[in-house]
Copies of this chain bind each other. A is one copy, B any other.
Amino acid sequence: MLNNIKIILVEPQHTGNIGATARAMKTMGLHHLVLINPENFPHKDAYIRATHATDILDRCEVKDNLKVVINDCSLVIGTSTRDRGAYVPALNARQTAEKLIAQATSATVALVFGKESTGLSGEDIRQCHYYGFIPTAADFSSLNLAAAVQTFCYEIFQASFYRENDKEAEVNPRSNNDFPKNEDLVFFYERLEHLLTQSNFINQKHPGIVMERLKAVFKRARLDQKELNILQGMISSLEKH
């Protein structure tokens, strides 16, 4: 799916941004880079900034015409600031990623970035099916080119992830831990209550809601078996003392 996505830089001016683009792409599982008329490439600064993503620079295509490069693409999204994309429908970065990923399951797609100084020309944007923008603060909307690439590639990877994977495993890395049986939890709560009653923190005649509040804390934490063992050991040591 991610292999069907081309990242295209039109006339990039700064060699460092080409390298940073490669790095940003590789961290997000993207490998297909195309440069249209770069000012200066190959260049050592691009390789330095790419760090461990130099393979993407080695394999990138250098072309002289956007139209030809997007000929085989079923979906082409140009990137721009919010107010530039006349006559082309707009998508924010997240929507852009979702569209690209949905299409990339079965076809080649492209995301196109313009040069640092002026962005994509009106003509280039009109060749795109949509334009994608990164929502920004009102008073300063100018992301560095490599930062914009990182942001879009990040959203693309997230979109691919949510499409392919079980969400729970990612959100909750503890899901494979051993969790105690409820009776063991109840036993722990009882021991804690007994200890706090002995220490007069809980008044036996008017216990109030202290225990309920403490239980709420441990429930939210979702104690695993090892943690419960530690807490039981803690209570034993305090009881002895």
Contacts and interface: CB of A to CB of B under 8 A. Distances in A.
A170 B135 contact: yes
Chain A interface mostly helix, strand, loop or mixed? Answer: helix
A145 to B, nearest CB: 11
A241 interface: yes
Interface string A149-181: 011001001100100000000110100000000
A143 interface: yes
A204 interface: no
A171 B20 contact: no
Output the residue of A147, A151, A231, A234 with the most chain B CB within 10 A: A147
A27 interface: yes
A209 to B, nearest CB: 10
Nearest to A51: B142
A68 interface: no
B95 A24 contact: no
Nearest to A89: B174
B150 A241 contact: no
A66 interface: no
Contact of A157 (B29, B136, B142, B173): B136
B27 A137 contact: yes
A151 B155 CA distance: 9
A237 B134 contact: no
B144 A20 contact: yes
Interface of A: 20, 23-24, 26-29, 49, 51-53, 90, 92-95, 134-137, 139-144, 146-147, 150-151, 154, 157-158, 161, 170-171, 173, 195-196, 198-201, 210, 213-214, 216-218, 220-223, 226-227, 230-231, 233-234, 236-238, 240-241
5 contacts: A137-B157, A196-B237, A214-B234, A217-B223, A220-B222
